[in-house]
Amino acid sequence: MALKNIAETDLHQFWEKSEYFSHLLLSHSGSEIEIIRRGKANTDGGPDYRGIVIRIDGKITHGDCEIHISPLDWSRHGHQKDAAYNQTCLHLALDSVPAPQILLENGSPVEQILVPQRIFEEFLSRSRKKKNPIQPLNCALAQENSTVKIAILQTAGHKRLQQKSSYFAERYSAVSWDQLLYEGLCQALGYAKNTQPFCTLSRLVPIDLLFQEMRHTKILSAEKTAAALLFGAAGFLEPHPQAEFTSAEIAEYSRPLIKFWSHLRHVLQIQPMQRTQWQFFRLRPQNFPTRRIAGIAGLITKFQRLGILEYLLHDIKNDHLSKAEINNNLRQFFTVEADHYWCDHFDFKMRESSGRSSNLGMLIGKNRAADLVVNIVFPVLLFYAGETGDGKLQNKLLELYSSHPRLQENSITREMLRKTGFRKMPGGDSNYNVCMQQGFLHLAKNSCGANQCNRCLEIMLPFASREGEN
């Protein structure tokens, strides 16, 4: 098959769907590569996939993936001169010509996987034969009674929780529990477009360093100290933008942060990130990374006295609180209100929308706070309970997870609700909690598909039956 008949989107499909990447691979340089997470397609400028996780010779690496038909396209497209590609940790291309070394704009080398053309052509041939697939069967789960539906969804929900918990286990060997939680919270607040930059920031300014400076500085408040460190390391206070201030309000907020950061960056020897690493394009102003960094500073301030792990365990282990009270307290704790400045700004520039009437709302709202509890706090603490052999805590976390109200619906869960008829069955809506909602996501990702509609029953029903017997 000639290369001219291949579109780059075909290689994107290969990256997303092929089982080729489920096995240990060798890079062009001879390194062992294991693909842990394939990331999310990037619809903006920069690398094709953001937020991938790979293991290179046993070491976990987070970053981006760029895909080309030819290994020569990296330099042809000028990526070696573009700082927006500096988070790329994997280059994927067909093994068609002798491959040159791939270098980033900052001079760092990038591992390459060169896919044998035969394997890609076999995948492409199979994919093209499925252009007109047989219509999928009716949803098998929809035909089951409410007891079976609930059992399968709960089992799937617990499997998803365990998978998330296992993901954090990959990182734990290198960091403390507080750092593990902090990194998870930062990445979650990056949403899809800024996951990787927030991951980088959380490691550039670790939680122990934040706590140390917040507890000992007498120059700024604890929250402003955290903000100065985070904004400075993120590259938003570099170069010093005093001359660019467009309002007295921006100057009043920024100058103390810039002054403190100018001192700390030299003392702590922190090389700040580049602004080009952050994505603003097609983001609502409320979700700009600058506002999320301000939210992190406010959130970390709440933890500074006890630390993240100890604070969370203190509330979760409180036997005087009901499960509903604990869940509510956790959600409330993770909300962060915008202060005077961030009520009217979404970065360090004057905008037409700025003004007292343009209140941008919370830095971390109740819906995002609930996401943090379900997708970060519960998985990390479940892993902690397993590592420390705390069976009581493990059971408590599973109870909290199973009784937590559902999160906001997305397109996947709405479609799963529709085709399974879950809400139409007696008591369906009243029984629908976050565990079952996560179960829908697990089934949609792992079982649903053309002519595979019985997989959720085949895979999950034995587990659900055993759970019901226990």
- Specify whether the CB–CB gap between 20 and 14 falls below 8 A: yes
Domain assignment of residue 296, yes or no:
yes
Q: 312 and 200 in one domain?
A: yes
Q: 200 and 315 in one domain?
A: yes
Domain assignment of residue 156, yes or no:
no
Nearest CA to 277 out of 266, 293, 264 is that of: 293
pLDDT tens digits for range 250-266:
889 999 999 999 988 88
| pLDDT confidence tier of residue 457, bands split at 50, 70 and 90 | confident
Average pLDDT, the chain: 87
Q: For residue 222, what are the domain limits?
A: 176-370+397-402
- Say which amino acid occupies 8: E
Paired tokens of 353: 């929308």
- Stated pTM of the model: 0.77
pLDDT above 70 as % of the chain: 88
Quote the pLDDT of residue 426: 62
Strands 88-94 and 102-103: unpaired
Q: 284 and 353 in one domain?
A: yes
Q: How many domains does the chain have?
A: 2
Average pLDDT over residues 348-353: 63
pLDDT tens digits for range 399-411:
999 999 999 999 8
d(CA 124, CA 136): 21
- Per-residue pLDDT at 55 exceeds 50: yes
Quote the pLDDT of residue 226: 97
- Per-residue pLDDT at 461 exceeds 90: no
pLDDT tens digits for range 5-47:
688 888 999 999 898 998 899 999 999 999 998 988 887 778 9
Q: 321 and 180 in one domain?
A: yes
- Specify whether the CB–CB gap between 120 and 14 falls below 8 A: yes
Selected residue with higher pLDDT from 70 and 285: 70
Q: 312 and 214 in one domain?
A: yes
- Specify whether the CB–CB gap between 400 and 378 falls below 8 A: yes
With a CB cutoff of 8 Å and minimum separation 6, the contacts of 44 are 193, 279, 281, 282
Q: 218 and 118 in one domain?
A: no
d(CA 79, CA 64): 13
Quote the pLDDT of residue 434: 95
| Residue 55, beta-bridge partner list | 34, 60
3-state secondary structure of 26: strand
Quote the pLDDT of residue 45: 76
- Say which amino acid occupies 439: G
